[in-house]
Amino acid sequence: MAAHGVNYHLYADDTQIYMPITDITADKIKISNIMSDIKLWMHERKLKLNEGKTEVILINGPYNPGALIPYNNVGFVNDLPPSETVRDLGLVFDSKLSFTNHFNSIIKACNYQLRRLSLITKYLDTPSATALIHAFITSRVDYCNSLFLIYLKKIFLVCKVF
């Protein structure tokens, strides 16, 4: 990875590559070269890249929404189109960093747990019900919440203006 000048994170069986995209055509070639080097490295070590789990996401971000061409016009690695969302350690990223899909995922999971807990609450005392709520609901809501601080600041500033 260092030979290609890209940032990366390595986890147990997961590699994530981060790079700014400035020229779509040149960077597409660069990503293909990186993927070829990864495949070669893995082949030499009797490993195999699971291309079915390989994802590419182009992040425009909220401050530069028109910087990249639309998804349907771009195929990256082996004509792999960029994903609109990717999951990383339980956090769902989207191409605009709006986290809408992440919030919807949290809401869905919490509603599911609340429905399940509603079936047994009549058998629980208050401290036990509170412990279950914290274990199944609060933990999901609090996960990675510091990441959203910038959005809370923006909302606060908008509210303060009005």
Domain boundaries, the chain: 2-94, 100-161
Whole-angstrom distance, CA of residue 98 vs CA of residue 85: 11
Q: What is the pLDDT of residue 57?
A: 83
Q: What is the pTM of this model?
A: 0.69
Whole-angstrom distance, CA of residue 35 vs CA of residue 112: 39
User: Which band of pLDDT confidence, cut at 50, 70 and 90, is reported for residue 31?
Assistant: confident
Q: What is the pLDDT of residue 124?
A: 93
The residue with greater pLDDT, 155 or 113, is 113
Signed CA dihedral, 99, 23, 74, 68: sign only: positive
Q: Which two tokens stand for residue 38?
A: 């990864």
Q: What is the pLDDT of residue 93?
A: 85
pLDDT surpassing 60 at residue 75? no
pLDDT surpassing 80 at residue 137? yes
